[in-house]
Structure formats: structure tokens, C-alpha cells
Structure 1
Amino acid sequence: MKLSGLILRVSLTAMVLLSLVFSALIWRNPSRLGRTETDSTLKTTQATGASAQAAYLLVPTSAYYQAAGGKVQLLQPDASSTGQIHETIHDWQLKKINRSVQLSTSALAALLTQQETLQLTFGAPVTFKAFNANYFATPVKNAPDFQFNRMIIDLSGSKPKLTLVEDNTRMSRTATLGKAPLAGLQAYLKKTRPSGLPVQEKRLNGKLMTFYTQGIAVSPYAFLLDQQTANHFVSLLMPTTSTAAVDSRELGDESIYTLGDVRLTLNSSSNVVQFEDPAKTVASKALTTALTKSEAAIAKLNLQGITAMHYFGYEKGSRTVSYRSYAQGLPIFNNLDNGVVQTSSTSSGLTMNFSLDNLTVAIPTSQAKKQLPSTQQVLSELATAGYAQSTIQNICLGYYWRPQTASSQVVDLTPSYFVEINGQYRRYTEWLTPDTAPANRGAVQIIQ
């Protein structure tokens, strides 16, 4: 055999062996199955997200711990305290909900200041039926349906005790707990209590509000922004096999999309969308129904920042349920209703208002904490500006979402007090400006 022939045979054999080796590696490499695995993972993520959204939406918005030294609001950097607490006690078991009792004014005051209690509050009253379906891993069977806005967990004994209270009516129910280990919750409280903000809960115009008893320092935030187009939500809310079936037209600042009687309207100035589906009529006026329908409606939006959005309020007349984005457990406000979703399910159908711009995840920032006055100081400044105490519907600590340019993917959140007057929330400094302050200035009585 010639040398050249030998070399050729050896080369061919080596190439065959290399081919077999590479084939084996390719078959063993998961990236070969990338398309199949990606499709499977995507479907699983979407299904999990849809089923878990209600649990995020109905998580309490504020957490307080009452001890001998007073009450503090728990704020955890880059996370939601109420969300962390929910994860910690999710596997607790409620065995029974006891009969309702109406507390006297003094009894409620004593309960709110009871030592060694963790108190979790919602933005507005919820029903136990909606809460029971989402908060704990195992729902209570055959439980009564009632409204409450506060969970009080007594940690003074070896076993926790749970009381559910509606602040305005003073109706309360105790719950019998089965499996309820305390170690995880106690560890979390030990970590977060030292940095809590001192507070007192006082009534202002009949409503319990959180008063920060001294000047406070709150960290600014930065968030990634999820910006979608109207077409994105058209595909989610108005699915059709033929794109031509969806009619679109421009009318001034509005883009209107219709599919039969279903309509989606985008205001290009504010990026706020209104969706209307007259076929989805609801006869029931019950709050449980409103909450359940709103959860189902929001699930169809597939929002990226759903973990930061919580139940904020309910307007009984229009049956409007409001959800708002939160940062560090504090609500976020701006002038364009970014990060807000409102739903209304009535005999006229479903109406939903939401923004194309929504927050996703927090970004670390090195900005210094912002100093803010006490709540009493804010009320004093409003009084000096001429606002009567009776005009103040609510006052709360939150974040201001400053409008950004259309190309910005990051928003800055600045802490401030927000005051509700005539159904509108504004930073307290905005109410103090000459163009918003009432003309009839003068000293008025404020809560002490």
C-alpha cells in the first residue's frame, strides 16, 4: 500500500471518529433542545403567573409591629414587608373562623395598641371569601363571608392568635389556628423591627390613618419600566384569528380599536388605555364578586410587575376596584395614573383602565435618603395654607413617579406625603402652592 493511500485511510477514519464524538456531544447538549424546552418553560411560567396573580394583588399593603416601646411600620429595603411576611406564614393553617363580635371604641383602641402584635392592613376592606382563596395554602372550608381590613397576629404566647378586624364598623372575628410555626416570622421581625418607622394610628375625619410621630428619612428608588404598545394589549384582550377583524381609527389624541362591541381606546397624551366589553355583564353587587372579576380581568393583561401591584381601594357606587404599584410597601402616585389598574364589572359589562407604562423590578441606587417632616407638621402646613381638616380625606406616605421621556426605560421614585382632597391625591407640597391652595386662608383646627 502506498504511503498516500495509508494517510488517506487514517484521515478518513479519524474524521468518522470525530464525527461520532461531535454527534454524541450535540445529542447530550441541552441547547439542541432549546426550542422545545423554551416553549415548555414559557407555558409553565405563564400558567404559574396567572394562578398566582390574585395572591399578589390581595396581599396586605402595610405591616406594623406593636411592642412596649410603641408601634413601628416595617419597611424592608428593596422588598415588600407584607410580601415577605406572606411567604413566611403562607403554610399556616386556619381551622375555624369564630363568630363576629362588635368591639367598643375603647376595645378597638386597646386591640390596636396591644403589645407583641403584628398588624397587617389592606388598602381597603376585603372579603374573607376572596382572602381565603388566596392567602393561606389551605383555604378554610364552609367559612362565612364577611369584610375586614386588618389582620392582628398576637405573638405574646407560645402559639399565635389571629384576629380579623374591620376598622370602620369595629366588627371582629378570631380565627382558630392549627399548624402555625413561629420561628420564621420571629426571625423576620427581629431583622426588620430595628429599622421600623415610629407611628401612631389616629382617626382623622372618622378614618384611621398612620401618623409618623417624628421626622423620617426614606430612601428614593429607581425602577425599570415596562413599556408596551396598544397592539400588545389588543392581542391579549381582543384575540381573533384574523387581524383584519379588529378595526382601528384615530380620533384626535385617541386610537380606537374595535372588535364587534368590544372597544379598546388609547389616549396618546397619557398612555392610559380604557377597555370595554359590554358582553361581560355582572348582576351581583357583592364586593367578593367585584374582587374576583377584577383579578380575572387583570390576569389577562399579563403585567410584568404584578408582584409589586396591590389592592388599593374600592368605590361601591361604580363597583370600581383599584390596584396600585408599591415600592418598599409604600404606594406610588403620579399625574398620569401609571402603575394603576382600575376595573368595574356591572350590568353594563366590564370596564378596565390601565397604563401602557408599568414598573417591573427595582434598581439599586446610591441616592441619599430624603428627609420628610412628621405627619402632624404636614397637617399644620396645610392648615396654615387654608385647608380645613374636614377637607382631608386621606394622608399617606408614598412615592412620586416623575413623568419620563418616551425613550426612558428607568423611572425615579421620590418619597413624599400624599394628601387626598376632593378624591384627588397630590404631594402635600403641591397642595401648598399658590395655584392650588384655597383662597380663604386662615387658621383651622387640626388633629392633635
Structure 2
Amino acid sequence: MMIKKLRANWLSIALTIVVLVSLLLSGIVWTNPFQSDYFHRENGTNNQQLAAQSIGDVYLPTMIVRTNNDGDQQLLYSQHKDLIYQAKEKLASWQLGRTSTVKTNNSDVYLSYLRHHDSLMLSYPDNIPGTVFNETFKQSVDISRVKRINHIVIPLDGSRELYLLSDYHYGVYRVRIAKGDPQKIVTNMHGLTPINVDHRIVNGHAVMVYLHSFALPRLAYQISDQKISSLSANLMSTTQHANFTTHQDGNHVVYTDGTNRHLVYDSARGTVNYENEVGRSNENNINQLYSHFYHALTKTGMPLNNVRFDEVTNHGRTITYRSYVEGFPIINDDNYGGAKLQADANGVERYLMSLYTVQVPLPLDGSTVRLPSTNSVLNQLHNSSHFRDITDLRVGYEWKTEPTNHQTVKMEPTYFAKYHGKWVNYTALLK
């Protein structure tokens, strides 16, 4: 009897189940903005962000600034839209033409282009070669003329050109737009949180400053924990040498292949130090390192969907990659969420990385942190004995591991000061 009733009403039952599941998923999406962004990215226009990352995804600009007709600038911030990725997709569909030099070695002219009225500016955290720009945006800009790029300025006044800016020698380069519509570079401005900013020249570099105090959300993420067995095999095994030996030294596990590869895993911190003597005959030039290190990262098996190029140091021989959340870098002492790759002049490559990267965003209570203006932070630091050793300042997220839960991480926004070559929470320098 019961079976007959079920058979007779199977359609109604199925529809009821579908409605209940739909309501449950809708409740999750509406009450969890982090998860809704995740679902959107997985099923919407940003699907590629969760797929295998191309070199153009890793070497994307990280910030986008709108300058109005009066010259006022706003950083366009959003938790739910990847504006940079939208801009990349549009720019990659354009056809860029002739490149010419506007001006070099003039900081006043350079600053005027950083503040170009009625424009959008896409900014990298550090300079990239013209070759990487071309590969990212599928273009063929003259790299003999444009060797380094820090900013991409796109006028919205109807002109058929964009400008590539290089902090090195204050280079300003004009690129004709043969095909493409600059006014459609970002089509949906709704739901954005603009933050008032300005640009200045400090120590030969373009620096973005925050004019007033502003709020950023606290964040939480689920951690992806790569297995050391997988990472060590990816780094140590080659077609010539598939076997390697290990031995324990306290919290350290040391891997060697008997030739030129050496890896030390710190089990207490989850960090890996890897060294490989490739020899001078296999040494890459500095421009090639960007591509070489990208391919090295992909071979490690490290998830790269949130990882971005962040910094180049050591005369171009060391490149740092960090995880980025909401357009801001995650910074910590152990390179959690990122990696630092170096190739010295003697043909030795060194990687410093961790097993941990951020993956799935988790719900929080919606609380925010109000950060002071850049001038306020500088005034505080000026009274510190450490001030003379500070060379840069930026906003980012500090990785805070939960003591009782190593599978999740909470992150809090703050200013970081570059002190003796390392990024540290600025409050630590006020003590």
C-alpha cells in the first residue's frame, strides 16, 4: 500500500525535495557572502581562477584605481567581484598597435600620468617585464622599448590609446589601441567600495597612499595542506634520478638525491627549503626567470588559484609570490600561502615555500577593522627609533593560525612596513 502511494505521488515528492534543497542552498548563499563568492567564481565568469592557473593569471595586476575628471583617485575594492580578471579578459581581446616613448627621467611628468584624469589604472605590486605583459594580455607590445611595467593607465575619455608606466627612470610609453573599447574595460561598477587614495613619488617609486581611515573585513579561509611526500617527490625526482634518501634531524627531515638536489622540511612550521645546483650552463637570464619560476611553481603541485606575483628583489634574481585575498597580499614570516624563488649568479636555485595555502573562504561575523590613513601611520612610525630603516609601506592581511584548528586561518588587515628587507606589522615597530 505504502509503495503504491509513493509510486503514485513520486513527482510531488521529488518536487518537494528539490524545493527544500534549493531553499537550503539559497540560505547558505544569502547568509554566507564568502561562500556565495566562491560559488560564483566556480560557476560564473571567474571559473578559470579555480582551474589550473596560466602564467597570465599568476602575473596579473593586483589593484585597480579610478581617477575622475577632477583628479580624485579611488581604489576600487570588492569582496564579490574580480575586477582585475574582468579587465584582463577585456584587454586581452583588444588589438594594440604602435608603441612610442612619451617621456623618461622626469618625475613630475610621471606623477601626472599616475594621476591621469578620467582613467582606470591597473597596478602591479612590483615591475614585470614587457614579455610577461604580452603573454598575460595576448599582445605584442615593443619589448625593446618597454622593458619594465609597473602600471597600465587606460584613459576613459574616448582616446584610442593607453599608457604603460615604469618606475625605472620614470618611463611613460604610449600604446595605440587599434581595436577595443576602453570605456568598456570594467562594465559593472555596482557593489564596489571605493577607498580614497593618491599617488606620490617616494624614493624613486610610485607609492599609493590612503588619504583617510578606511575599513576592511576580517577574513577566514580553509587551508589546503599539501603533503610533504607529494611536494618532495615533485621537487626531488627527475628523469635521471627518481630515488632520494631521507634522514631525521629533530623537527627537520632532510632529503638528498646524492647529486645536486637538497631539501629540508621543517615539520613544526610546515616550511620547505629546497636547493638545486643547476650549473651556469643552465642559468636563465633575469627576464627569463619570470617564466622559469612560474613553470617551477606549477611543477611543485602547489595550488595557485589565489597566488600572485608580488615582489622582485636581489637585482631581479629573487621573485616572491603571495596569496592574495580581495586584492590584498597575505603576509607572514613563513611564506604561508606563497613562495620565494631565487636563482643566484653561480647557477644555484633556492626555493622557500610552505605546505599551506588558502582555498575555500569561510563565514565570519562580518566584523571589520578600521585602518588609519597612511599619513597617520607614517607619523606614528616617525616617532620610532626604527623609522630610518623603513623603506616601504603597504596594506595587507596578516595570517593568524588558529591554535586549536590548523585547518583554518583567520586573517586581519593591517599596514606592513618593509624593515631591513622584510615586511613586518607596523605596530611591532612602535614598541
Q: Which moved more, 1:236-245 or 1:357-366?
A: 236-245
The worse-fitting range, judged by mean Cα deviation, of 399-408 and 262-271 is: 399-408
Q: Which residue number in structure 2 is paired with residue 18 of structure 1?
A: none
Give the superposition deviation at 1:203. 3.0
1:425 to 420, 423, 426: 423
SS in 2 for 1:409: strand
Question: SS where residue 196 of structure 1 aligns?
Answer: strand
- Correspondence 1:63-102 to 2 at 5 A: 63-69=64-70, 70-99=72-101, 101-102=103-104
Cα shift at 1:241 = 8.8
CA gap of 1:400–1:95, structure 2 versus 1, over 3 A, is: same
- Tell me which residue corresponds to 2:129: 127
Q: Give secondary structure in 2 for the equivalent of 1:73.
A: strand
SS at match of 1:300: helix
Q: Unpaired segments of 5 or more residues in structure 1?
A: 1-44, 434-448
- Report matched runs for 1:307-326 at 5 Å: 307-317=305-315, 319-326=317-324
Instruction: Quote the Cα distance in structure 1 between the aligned partners of 2:343 and 2:281.
Output: 6
**Are the structure 2 counterparts of residues 232 and 211 from structure 1 closer, same or farther at C-alpha, using a change threshold of 3 Å?**
same
Aligned-partner Cα distance in 1 for 2:230–2:279: 21
Count of residue pairs brought into register by the alignment: 381
Task: Give the C-alpha shift of residue 345 in structure 1.
Answer: 2.6
Distance 1:93 1:302, change over 3 A: farther
State the shift of 1:342 in Å.
Answer: 1.2
Q: Which residue is 2:246 aligned to?
A: 248
| SS in structure 1 of the partner of residue 185 of structure 2 | helix
* Residues 429/244 of structure 1: CA separation in 2 closer, same or farther (3 Å cut): same
Say which structure is richer in strand. 2
In the TM superposition, what whole-angstrom CA distance separates every residue of 1:29-81 from its partner, at most 9, and x where no partner exists? Answer: xxxxxxxxxxxxxxxx99x955x431111101221111135101111114543
- Structure 1 residue aligned with 2:179: 179
Q: Is the aligned partner of 1:344 residue 2:342?
A: yes
Q: Which residue of 2 aligns with 1:236?
A: 234
Moved over 6 A (4+): 240-244
Q: 1:328: Cα distance to partner?
A: 0.7
In 2, the alpha carbon distance for the partners of 1:425 and 1:251 equals 30
Residue 134 of structure 2 corresponds to residue 136 of structure 1: no
The separation in 1 between residues aligned to 2:404 and 2:138, in whole angstroms, is: 41
CA distance in 2, matches of 1:107, 1:275: 44
TM-score normalised by the chain length of structure 1: 0.78
Secondary structure at the counterpart of residue 93 of structure 2: coil
Please give the alpha-carbon distance, in whole angstroms, between the structure 2 residues aligned to 1:424 and 1:274. 18
Counterparts in 2 of 1:17-28, with a 5 A limit? none
**TM-score scaled to structure 2, two decimals?**
0.81
Q: Residue 395 of structure 1: CA displacement?
A: 0.7
CA–CA separation in structure 1 for the residues paired with 2:418 and 2:321: 16
SS of aligned partner of 2:138 = coil
What letter matches 1:313 in structure 2?
E
Alpha-carbon distance between aligned partners in 1 of 2:61 and 2:247, rounded to the nearest angstrom: 41
Partner of 1:106: 108
CA distance in 2: counterparts of 1:127 and 1:354, whole angstroms: 24
Distance 1:402 1:284, change over 3 A: same
1:219 equivalent in alignment to 2:221: no
Corresponding position of 1:118: 120
2-structure distance, mates of 1:366, 1:88: 35
* Root-mean-square deviation (Å): 2.8
Matching of residue 398 in structure 1 with residue 399 in structure 2:
no
> Is the 8 Å Cα contact of residues 281 and 345 (structure 1) preserved in structure 2?
no
Equivalent-residue separation in structure 2 for 1:241 and 1:291 (angstroms)? 24
In structure 2, C-alpha distance between the alignment counterparts of 1:79 and 1:352, rounded to whole Å: 32
